[in-house]
Amino acid sequence: MNKKAFYDFSYGVYLCTSWDEGRPVGCVANSSMQITSSPATIAVSLNHDNYTNKCVAATGYFAVCILAEDCDPQLIGKFGFSSSKDTDKFADFPWKVRGKLPVPDGVKAYITCKVVDKMETSTHTVFLGEVIDADVLKEGTPCLLYTSPSPRDRTRSR
C-alpha cells in the first residue's frame, strides 16, 4: 500500500470541545464531516487516548470549531500538544458558551451537537452528533486545511 495516496485526501483542521464537570476541554481533530442535512448530523473522530474523547462520551455533547487559515497558531499548539486532563487549554484564550458548549474566540465557525450514536475502531471513536446550533463567526476567511500553509509559515513570509 502506498500511503502517499492519503496525502491527497482533503481534510480540515478543527477543534473539538466539550465539558468535564463544568470545565471546558478540547483537542485538535482532523476528521470531521457532515453526514446528513436533515436532520443535520455531523461526525467527528477522536483518538481513544484524548481526554476529550472521554468527556464527549460522558456528557453526550461536543462542538466542532472550524479553524481559519489565519487562526492563531498558539491555539493549534495548545489544543494539539497538551492534555485537557491536566491542562486548562482555555486559560490563554477568550471563549464563550455557544450552543451549550465552549467555543474559543477566533474560530471561523462552530457546530454544536448532541451525540446520537458512536462507532468504535481500534484507535478512535467516531461520534455522530445531531446539530443543535451552528454559526459563522468570521466571514470570507478560508478554512485551514492540512494542505494550507501553516499560520506560522505565512507570518514568516511577510
Q: Which pLDDT belongs to residue 155?
A: 42
CA dihedral 130, 136, 141, 147 (to 10 degrees): -10
Task: List the one residue out of 19, 156, 1 whose CA is nearest residue 100.
Answer: 19
Sign of the alpha-carbon dihedral angle for 69, 158, 104, 50: positive
Strand partners, 110: 65, 135
Q: Counting beta carbons within 10 angstroms of the beta carbon of residue 20, is it exposed (0 to 12), middle (13 to 18) or buried (19 or more)?
A: middle
Sign of the alpha-carbon dihedral angle for 139, 44, 145, 106: positive
CA dihedral 81, 84, 88, 92 (to 10 degrees): 40
DSSP letters for 50-65: -HHHHHHHHHSEEEEE
List, in order, residues 6 or more apart from 36 with CB less than 8 Å away: none
Q: Which residue has the cell 496525502?
A: 7
DSSP reduced 3-state for 3: helix
For the chain, which residues score pLDDT lower than 70?
146-158
H helices present in 5-126, as ranges: 51-59, 73-80
Q: Model-level pTM?
A: 0.87
